[in-house]
A and B are shown apart, each in its own frame.
Chain A
Amino acid sequence: MKYTKESYKKVVDEHTPKNKMFKNCILAFIFGGTICTIGEIVKNIFISFFAVPKDDAIVMSSIFLIALSAILTGFGVYDNLGKYGGAGTIVPITGFANSVVSPALEFKKEGYILGTAANIFKLAGPVLLFGYFASFCVGILSLLFK
């Protein structure tokens, strides 16, 4: 074999099909935009029909989206949306909910405690860990530099 790891890398790059980034971006824009717009509509419904204060309405609308995503994941629909939406379905809070529900579902056969419960944070754990850690740092910084 006359190829080295370096020269073979070039061969691989030449032969590997690229993802269709332009098309993916347009789809991500549409899916992501739609999910956010649904969030905005739900938020306004809570504000105008249920007289919920604005800050709580934002929380309620994310709860609604999380619930929607959990149900769609349960019916096996969300991964099909993800196939087209790409980052448009991963980046919104619905993607986070999907990453909690999908391992919970997946590891059901290994039992409800050591399967579902132990794996439910498999994908969301890193997000929460880094999020909480960063927020702690920010809280300390805000104490130090008032």
Chain B
Amino acid sequence: MKKIGKQTYKIKDNVIIRDTYTIVGPKEGEGPLKKDFDMVVQDDLFGEDSFEKSERKFQVTAVENLLKKNNLNKNEIDLLISGDLLNQIVSASFAARELQIPYIGIYGACSTMSLSMGLGALLIDGGFANNVVCATSSHFCSAERQYRAPLEMGGQRFMSAQWTVTGAGAVWLSNYGEGPKIKHVTFGKIVDLGVSDANNMGAAMAPAAYDSLNQHLIDTKIDYDLITTGDLGTVGKSIVNKLFIDDNNSIENKFDDCGTIIFDLEKQDVHAGGSGCGCSAVVFGSFLYKKLKNKEIKNLLFTSTGALHSPTVTLQGDSIPGIAHCIGIEI
């Protein structure tokens, strides 16, 4: 078996992250990473007439432009693994309807990016595919409609609330060529310590993030240059730091969170930071992938964190389960 330790899969040298494509909405395009994104769309609706259709177009455009950028034909892609936040993962499925690539739809809430990359890596390593595209998207307006209040409803967001990123990211994994390699994959357990406050997702996901990160570090014993989580925001990030300090194993100086990187927390009024599937996808596809390409870091532990939140069961008194999947990448 290719498993090491308790939960980690060791991948041979044959899964290469060939390229990425990121596309974001206007607010993200004003943030600190604006120069790193491949495309910034100035119109929330992207020329469509509803936010759901707009999100779908973000995802289609990300995948199509990724293929175009690399002169790839759709026939060369064996599998598209994608997901999103909406009910019945409509953005991913309807994007796949247009793309006409064999499609596996997955749901991992905001952990979708690393979940799809992990699955893609295993499939390539197992010899079942040569080229896999992993994609995900989220949209502030469609997420807000489904999970919270109407957009035009007045009221204050809590200081611990996060801002869903509008954007989509696509990643091309392949078993040939040059680029950073996926070496280890850890799929996380669901950890739920009873947080039921939908305005504090960071706190709900932090225990799961800690659990997966810790297990990955124990299993692989690698000293990473940079460890990032997906969308814990300021609250979750400080809790994860505390949990590691409790173990006398501080990761503080090499740990960051995509939700706090993507926005200027002071100026952009996003409170605790960014969230959503798109958050870790676009930060990985731009900022982090460039760091690997430019050899600024020699390895990266990329972790997307998901809050498996459902407004229905939360109203029934249930709490919010968290999950995190880790992808260990080396150049």
Contact = CB atoms under 8 A, between A and B. Distances in A.
Chains A and B share a contact (CB less than 8 Å): yes
Interface of A: 1-5, 8-9, 11-12, 15-20, 24, 73, 76, 78-79, 81-83, 85-86, 89-90, 95, 98-99, 101-103, 105-106, 109, 122-123
B250 to A, nearest CB: 16
Interface stretch (B70-78, B149-157, B252-260): B149-157
B211 interface: yes
Interface SS of chain B: loop
Interface in B192-217: 193-195, 200, 203, 207, 210-211
Interface of B: 49-50, 145, 149-160, 191, 193-195, 200, 203, 207, 210-211, 234-235, 238-239, 242-243, 246, 272
Nearest to A85: B154
Nearest to B240: A15
Contacts, number: 98
A24 B156 contact: yes
B153 A99 contact: yes
Contacts of A73: 152, 154
Given A1-B191, A8-B194, A12-B203, A18 B159 contact: yes
Contacts of B151: 79, 102, 105-106
Given A1-B207, A85-B154, A11 B242 contact: yes
Given A1-B191, A5-B193, A106-B150, A17 B160 contact: yes
A8 B207 contact: yes
B154 A79 contact: yes
Contacts of B50: 109
A31 to B, nearest CB: 10
A39 to B, nearest CB: 17
